[in-house]
């Protein structure tokens, strides 16, 4: 099982922060996963705390054999992203992971005032499906077999998925990076 990220974070990923930040956190997630839903607010806290020192990337890893709406949700987030609403749509999906349905996805699109005709057309796009498949394949090659799976600066994070443990891991990486610049 790989313990390193096989596809480095890049600007084509859905990201928050600067690619030049001292720490890169990559999450392989599934919008129908209860653990990913719990983890999402922690990510927001970490982003707020570390601001310029953290580059966060979210990649798709829909576990469709367990979560029947995961792929649909990933396609919806991608389609919303084409209308600059990836993060708002993702937040909605994580908050409503246990109620996902085509109807709920349409409600969210309407609530965000997306162009519904374009949104529905984009959800059927081979390009978007290809992006999700690419994320999934890259995750599988990196040893991902469940969600959420995290990588800090390219290395798999094996610690507890709690704010305090992640915060400490990020602080250590910031200290290490700053020590190399001295």
Domain ranges of the chain: 14-180
14-180 folds as Glutaredoxin (3.40.30)
Percentage of the chain beyond pLDDT 90 is 95
Among 88, 14, 95, 86, which residue's Cα sits nearest to residue 55?
A: 14
pLDDT band at 180 (very low <50, low <70, confident <90, very high): confident
Whole-number pLDDT of residue 1:
46
> pTM value?
0.96
Q: Distances from the Cα of 72 to the Cαs of 43, 90, 120, 125, in angstroms?
A: 23, 12, 11, 12
The pLDDT value given to residue 3 = 83
């Amino acid at each position: 099982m790989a313990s390193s990220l096989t596809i480095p974070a890049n600007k084509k990923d859905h990201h928050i922060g600067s690619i030049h930040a001292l720490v890169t956190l990559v999450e392989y997630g599934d919008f129908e996963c209860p653990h990913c839903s719990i983890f999402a607010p922690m990510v927001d806290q970490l982003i707020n705390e570390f601001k310029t020192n953290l580059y966060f990337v979210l990649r798709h890893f829909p576990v469709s054999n367990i979560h029947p709406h995961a792929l649909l949700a990933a396609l919806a987030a991608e389609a919303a992203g084409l209308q600059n609403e990836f993060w708002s749509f993702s937040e909605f999906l994580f908050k409503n992971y246990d109620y996902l349905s085509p109807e709920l996805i349409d409600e969210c699109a309407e609530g965000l005032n997306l162009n519904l005709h374009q949104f529905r057309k984009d959800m059927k796009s081979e390009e978007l499906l290809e992006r999700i498949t690419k994320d999934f394949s890259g995750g599988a090659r990196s040893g991902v077999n469940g969600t959420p799976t995290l990588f800090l600066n390219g290395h798999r994070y094996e610690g507890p998925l709690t704010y305090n443990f992640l915060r400490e891991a990020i602080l250590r990486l910031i200290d290490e990076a700053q020590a190399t610049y001295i």
